[in-house]
Structure 1
């Protein structure tokens, strides 16, 4: 029987070629696998992981100014009023609130604070962007006046009339203290308040990342015994992924005038300034 010739060099060459092919296929598969596994990095989390305790967030010195009737109460009753009442919540890391009520012969004052920590459930959207969108909805719902344009007047355009009557096509000015816009019959209209100019609902600067103030008032009704004057000032601000809402309401007794707008707005804004400092710590 004839035997086939065995060529050592040829066998070695075949083995080397087979090994290189196998190695080349392995590297290619690994490269393709790594390329297919590439994923976008998740959006960064928000700055805040917890929230302050709301009833302790407002200092006693601030409460004394906003709840004037408590000073005339017995010490134990005053302490109870200053302590406030916490809102019922099932997740204190997501939303908490506190409220206070102060009654005097002149009327009732109520103060509420609400802290919300916004969390995005979409890994591609950051907590801050989610909070920004939620804050934007609140601002839109407040129906604030549009920012005034500061564009320069084109050269050659007509100058305002100085004869005491408005130039043709110029809208007449709104009388001081009149509502900024008419509301629906079932709800009170935003009011510029008793202080006149500068107290209308507006955006605020220097308070967190964004802030606005809104005000709603209802005057004494035709039957003063059934409806008292009421004014509510709201300040809302956003800082990173936290949204803070303050509501300060003063309702006068039937024989009293509607509480002063300037006083309520100043106190609400002062409190907002104190709270934003706590979130900045």
Structure 2
């Protein structure tokens, strides 16, 4: 009789233990499912470029001969030294590299430099491309490009001159923007002005070059005690998370000559186009 009373008690105890284990498992499974279905932190996509091209070897010799006239007439040893270029010393060649060339001839002196900067965002919510766009925008603002005139304003000014009321109010976009202050370095000589630049060749935004681009053109004096004039053309463009800066300048040997803006701009833009194609490969 005592044995029959013991068996039902044991069965009840086992049933309770099984029910407890089932309840715990269900609770644990709900917690896991809830966590798995919760919000996940998003990380911005990395930039397209993880490395940079070697700058001194990025320009072919035939192109350098065109950009540095007079160098090809020198002895072979001097040509080799000029066309080899001088690498810019940087602390991190994965982030920034550069190279410079210089050649003197009987007619003029020419200088050329290229700078490759790979922008990396350390904010997981901001992509490398977005950070590069911010850096590029600062460079463009530092160049203080002229604000293009609004055709509506010209029409309004003509109406005012004839004594009638302008059909459109003056657009605030014609008001020159103040040059921003900050750590960005202008691409041209900060003491110079784009004086002497022909119409249509003023510093401006460039289309169809990388993701964004602009050109600057600055005419300055050659230096203290000299009446010669130096023109410096800068082309800056961004492709994904890399910003390329080309600086091309010339100083004629004759003090009465002014460097040709059109020629310098065309050559600098042509070089920029070649480099943009190489980065896109």
Q: Which residue of 1 aligns with 2:43?
A: 42
Q: Given that residues 144 and 202 in structure 1 are in contact (C-alpha distance below 8 angstroms), is that contact kept between their aligned partners in structure 2?
A: yes
Q: Which residue of 2 aligns with 1:187?
A: 191
Cα distance in 1 for partners of 2:100, 2:165 equals 49
Cα distance in 1 for partners of 2:227, 2:113 equals 22
Q: Does 1:205 align with 2:207?
A: yes
Instruction: Between 49-58 and 86-95, report the one with greater CA deviation.
Output: 86-95
TM-score by length of 1: 0.80
1:219 deviates by 5.1
Quick one: structure 1 residues 115 and 158, their matched pair in 2 at CA, closer, same or farther if it must change by over 3 Å? closer
User: Residues 52-102 of structure 1, C-alpha deviation per residue, up to 9 Å, x if partnerless?
Assistant: 111111111111111112122112212211111111123222111110111
Could you list the runs of 5+ residues in structure 1 that have no partner in the other structure? 171-179
Where do 1:119-268 residues align within 5 Å? 119-149=120-150, 160=158, 187-191=191-195, 193=197, 196-218=198-220, 226-253=226-253, 255-268=255-268
TM-score by length of 2: 0.80
Could you list the runs of 5+ residues in structure 2 that have no partner in the other structure? 167-175, 180-189
Quick one: structure 1 residues 219 and 91, their matched pair in 2 at CA, closer, same or farther if it must change by over 3 Å? closer
Cα distance in 2 for partners of 1:182, 1:134 equals 18
User: Residues 27-76 of structure 1, C-alpha deviation per residue, up to 9 Å, x if partnerless?
Assistant: 2332344456x532321111111111111111111111111121221122
More helix by share: 2
Q: Which residue of 2 aligns with 1:65?
A: 66
Q: Which residue of 2 aligns with 1:173?
A: none
Cα distance in 2 for partners of 1:111, 1:41 equals 43
Q: Which residue of 1 aligns with 2:27?
A: 25
Q: Secondary structure at the match of 1:213?
A: strand
Q: Secondary structure at the match of 1:82?
A: helix
Q: Secondary structure at the match of 1:208?
A: coil
Cα distance in 1 for partners of 2:269, 2:121 equals 29
Q: Secondary structure at the match of 1:250?
A: strand
1:226 deviates by 2.5
Instruction: Between 108-117 and 4-13, report the one with greater CA deviation.
Output: 4-13
Cα distance in 2 for partners of 1:182, 1:166 equals 32
Q: Given that residues 182 and 189 in structure 1 are in contact (C-alpha distance below 8 angstroms), is that contact kept between their aligned partners in structure 2?
A: no
